[in-house]
Amino acid sequence: MAERVGGRDQQETELGPDMYQLMKELFPICRSITGDGLRQTLEIIQHHIPLELHDVPSGTEAFDWTVPKEWNIRDAYILDERGEKIVDFKLNNLHVVGYSTPVDKYVNLSELQEHLYSLEDQPDAIPYVTSYYQERWGFCITHRDRAELKQGTYRVFIDSDLKDGLLTYGELFIPGESPEEIFFSTYVCHPSMANNELSGPVVNTFLAKWIAEHARRYSYRFIFIPETIGSIVYLSRNLRQMKKNIVAGFNVTCVGDDRGYSLIPSRTGNTLADNVALTVLKFKHPDFIKYTYLDRGSDERQYCSPGVDLPVVAVMRSKPGEFLEYHTSLDNLDMVTPSALSGSLELLKDCVELLEANRNYRVTCLGEPQLGKRGLYPTLSSKTSKDSVNDLMNFIAYADGSNDLMAISNTINVPPWQLYPIIEQLKTASLLAEATTR
């Protein structure tokens, strides 16, 4: 159970099982960067939040890229000479190289080998392989199965098609007092893999639901996109508004495992998103791993690219590429736990609450205020009487209008949520004012 912060109810935090249930529902679907599986996924998420769907036709230019043809697949297998299915798409959709062209022919073992992918050092894992931008066909199998293949003739069958169609993505805008936006991105293009990447969409779905429950200072925007081409398409359509409105953004990925937290900073490393994520992680999960921007791997590559330069960080538990199960059939439902999903959701809620609470504060009087007469300071002065009011006095000492709440929190080494009640006390006593919004 995550540590309690702010004024959140206990119930709100116990959504782990519900999130896990949604993940189980989404897991079997064969997603890709286009196609029916992607749309089906977004439609299921629509049962939880009012996602608006956008369709972008194949051939659409997006910066240096072009939206590819739409890919759909119905079935695929390899039959051996006895007619037995030795590889079956219906048992695991990772068996087919993503975007495989249709094929139905007999090949000998040698030709078959040229179309097989396996991992020698993970002999029981089916690897996840795609070929979005070059037409080819192929099958992914465990290295153990591959080693047992015998000379002979095999029938390879892929019932797919690759034709002009649509790239679909989902978007949710939750308006707040301010047109300034907090941006959350996650991707929905991976077939049956759990941590990377159903954990991101699942957690973001429940985060959006929670945000929408209350009036907020900031506006919030969530997008559920195919990785890379999706963020590029989205940026190419919205960049000007994004640069104008987004004050902090989070790419949420690989947040379903139980292995601690990690962060990829933005390219500059000093944005509001960096500060918020670092502050929350430092106080709640001091053992988190802070990667550098050189370790990036997902859509933060686009959000932080030269000229785009959005204040976006990637929040993760195990970083993509850094866990053994990554991009294999081992990244299954066993890798993700309800409590891990719940912890990740709490972390993001903490970030949201801190963003909402963060302001530049200044004390309204010169010198220290006389807190004793307001019941905020011990009236009896003895050797240790200041200890009990240390956080309060330190907050006041730095509330000079030039430091925001986060900066003060880090300077005085007190979690921001521990300062929320202090801020309320001081406001009530008219001793604290906002200096500027940011």
Binding-site ranges for its own copies (CB under 8 A): 62-66, 97-98, 117, 119, 127-134, 136, 228, 231-232, 235-236, 239, 267, 293-294, 296-297, 301-302, 304-309, 321, 326-328, 362-363, 365-370, 372-373, 379-383, 386, 393-394, 396-401, 411-413, 431
Residue 334 has which token pair?
């066993």
Which CB, 4 or 144, lies closer to its own copies? 144
Alpha-carbon distance of 103 to 158, in angstroms, equals 5
Which CB, 47 or 136, lies closer to its own copies? 136
Which CB, 394 or 418, lies closer to its own copies? 394
Alpha-carbon distance of 74 to 72, in angstroms, equals 7
Any idea what DSSP says for residue 134?
Answer: S
CA of residue 379 relative to chain centroid, distance = 50
For the bound state, the minimum distance from the C-beta of residue 393 to its own copies, rounded and expressed in Å, comes to 8
For the bound state, the minimum distance from the C-beta of residue 116 to its own copies, rounded and expressed in Å, comes to 12
For the bound state, the minimum distance from the C-beta of residue 217 to its own copies, rounded and expressed in Å, comes to 24
CA-to-CA separations, 175 to 17, 298, 378, in angstroms, rounded: 28, 27, 44
Which CB, 51 or 97, lies closer to its own copies? 97
Which CB, 57 or 375, lies closer to its own copies? 375
For the bound state, the minimum distance from the C-beta of residue 118 to its own copies, rounded and expressed in Å, comes to 11
β partners of residue 57: 166
Q: What is the DSSP string of 191-215?
A: SS-STTTTHHHHHHHHHHHHHHTS-
For the bound state, the minimum distance from the C-beta of residue 369 to its own copies, rounded and expressed in Å, comes to 4
Total residues found in the chain within this entry: 438
For the bound state, the minimum distance from the C-beta of residue 122 to its own copies, rounded and expressed in Å, comes to 9
Within 10 angstroms of residue 252's Cβ, the number of other Cβ atoms is 26
Alpha-carbon distance of 281 to 299, in angstroms, equals 21
Which CB, 201 or 297, lies closer to its own copies? 297
CA of residue 98 relative to chain centroid, distance = 22
Residue 215 has which token pair?
């009036």
Which CB, 89 or 303, lies closer to its own copies? 303
β partners of residue 252: 315
Q: Are 338 and 19 in contact (CB under 8 A)?
A: yes
Residue 341 has which token pair?
């999903």
Which CB, 46 or 236, lies closer to its own copies? 236
For the bound state, the minimum distance from the C-beta of residue 381 to its own copies, rounded and expressed in Å, comes to 5
Alpha-carbon distance of 349 to 435, in angstroms, equals 25
For the bound state, the minimum distance from the C-beta of residue 48 to its own copies, rounded and expressed in Å, comes to 30
Q: Residue 115: which of 84, 155, 71, 83 has the closest Cα?
A: 155
Alpha-carbon distance of 16 to 344, in angstroms, equals 10
Q: Are 53 and 39 in contact (CB under 8 A)?
A: yes
For the bound state, the minimum distance from the C-beta of residue 176 to its own copies, rounded and expressed in Å, comes to 28
Alpha-carbon distance of 44 to 25, in angstroms, equals 8
Residue 132 has which token pair?
């979005």
Which CB, 222 or 326, lies closer to its own copies? 326
Q: Are 264 and 295 in contact (CB under 8 A)?
A: yes
Q: Are 158 and 101 in contact (CB under 8 A)?
A: yes
Alpha-carbon distance of 343 to 337, in angstroms, equals 10
For the bound state, the minimum distance from the C-beta of residue 151 to its own copies, rounded and expressed in Å, comes to 26
Which CB, 42 or 308, lies closer to its own copies? 308
